[in-house]
Structure 1
């Protein structure tokens, strides 16, 4: 399958740091895949996604998304969506007001937003709360609105950082089911999570990264088959990255 994201020898060392956060990363992410970028705390996942989203620049190396070089980050930003782990919402505005605002930032017309937003809210079970303030929402409800805010402009590639962290079982199922639908409709998804069982079920392809380097890449089935006695992605992850705690502050 054709690669929609091509990462060539990317390294990143922050100013004043003794070590590189990324070390010569090479990855090809297939078009219309659900690509899991997995690793312990401090492995380099957030740094890599921040580079691909144009938030920070690599120290060395290059990448392209849908044929667009990283030298043209403004064009790349037009075709990607980003759903951060932290809620990027205004608590004193309603769900509808938040989504109208974020949609305008993507230059989606007001008419299109008025048509789209109710449809998204219905898909994610929020139609009855459209005009309620975000500050009254549960964590799972906020997480679903957060997702909608990142897809109002129909991005070709969607970056998700822990999209189901801290939510109830029903919200998690609703989010994952909707993401699968988006993927079936053509959206490539790049996803990070510490929930290995979820990643095993959700992802079509996975790369495990640690200490700034990619250890392995393959389908969940391939990764499990290539580690002796492993029966799950979690066992593969522990075998490759070890049991040492990775606490960071």
Structure 2
């Protein structure tokens, strides 16, 4: 059947550049993917990069960076990291609110577009699944990025370990009303409010503010999501480590 065929496709190309595993998971009763295959995401956005800004902002009424800036209005940070920075839309929106801005993304073509905008102090080609705790940031942004990650335990643990005292994590996710994590036909993950609260509390954030918002349009229909601000981390001594204790499932 179809599942067996997609299983064979994944076996033939373990990097899953064509996203066969995602198609397989869409027909399972319980999706098993914990994140989009890195090779699939990289290939998708390498192809999309040249038209990304126009497609998102003009055609899909993409609003994530502006929603995050609105939620953080009037505030300023020293060092900031833009996770999954893409072409640099969030970087443009936040540049005047930070002293120093880094961005990372899996797609070299997207990073080239971001570099051309001239708003980042540093850009790195990085898979979010391989991030290691080292540098510290006052603000970590993830605008429309966690929709490509199913399980958020590891990335939120990394964020908690990479923020300075008093630091802020700000991100958007698509809203799922029931199940903790759902893989949609769009091949993007949606997350429930309860799951977001759970993983952020487990990562050590004491203050979490979740606001409902329309993130963009898809085929003429609004895509509902959450704008999430997480702060109030415990003192550094209480949260040392590299996040390895946080399960992905």
> TM-score, with normalisation over the residues of structure 1?
0.29
When Rg is computed on C-alpha atoms for both structures, the one with the higher figure is: 1
Higher relative contact order (CA closer than 8 Å, sequence separation 6+):
1
Of Structure 1 and Structure 2, the greater strand share is in: 2
> TM-score, with normalisation over the residues of structure 2?
0.29
